[in-house]
């Protein structure tokens, strides 16, 4: 059974701190790993990672995939209160019946940034 595990489940830090969120996976046929940010609404896309060791960056957020360790990290530097959200990791795998791929989600990391 495909599995995606995120850690920590919850994290509280002060504004300005740097945080690292973890995502590990056990899947039979890896295609890509995606990160989403969810505030009080639908998840919004952050990054898609397919190749090991290549960092994706967007402002203060960055992410990297390690296919050998079957994991990914999401870094947020100089955190702001607006970074408070649930961060979801998902791994794309093909459905066993063929056709479109599916996403298996982790349970998310609830990040709270205190002023």
Residue 107: CB minimum distance to other proteins, A:
4
CB 34 within 8 A of CB 103: yes
Looking at beta carbons only, is 14 or 40 nearer to other proteins? 40
Residue among 1 and 14 whose Cβ is closer to other proteins = 1
Beta carbon nearer to other proteins, 25 or 36: 36
Contact yes or no for 48/65 (Cβ under 8 A):
no
**Distance of closest approach, residue 102 Cβ to other proteins, in angstroms:** 7
**By the criterion CB under 8 A, which residues form the site for other proteins?**
9, 32, 34, 36, 41-45, 48, 88, 90, 92, 95, 97, 99-103, 105-108
Strands of the 19-26 sheet, one edge to the other: 3-7, 19-26, 71-76, 61-66, 56-58
- Least distance from C-beta 39 to other proteins, angstroms? 11
Distance CA 78, CA 91 (A): 27
Residue placing its CB nearer to other proteins in the complex, 56 or 113:
56
Shortest CB 48 distance to other proteins, Å: 6
Dihedral, CA of residue 1, residue 102, residue 4 and residue 17, to nearest 10: 180
Both tokens of residue 73? 């990290």
């Amino acid at each position: 059974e495909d599995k995606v595990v995120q850690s920590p489940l919850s994290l509280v830090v002060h504004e300005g701190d740097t945080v690292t969120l973890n995502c590990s996976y056990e899947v039979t046929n890896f295609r890509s790993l995606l990160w989403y940010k969810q505030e009080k609404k639908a998840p919004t896309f952050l990054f898609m990672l397919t190749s090991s060791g290549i960092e994706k960056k967007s402002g203060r957020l960055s992410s990297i995939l390690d296919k050998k360790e079957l994991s990914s990290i999401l870094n947020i530097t100089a955190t702001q209160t607006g970074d408070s959200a649930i961060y979801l990791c998902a791994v794309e795998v093909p459905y066993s019946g063929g056709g479109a791929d599916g996403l298996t989600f982790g349970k998310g990391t609830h990040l709270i940034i205190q002023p």
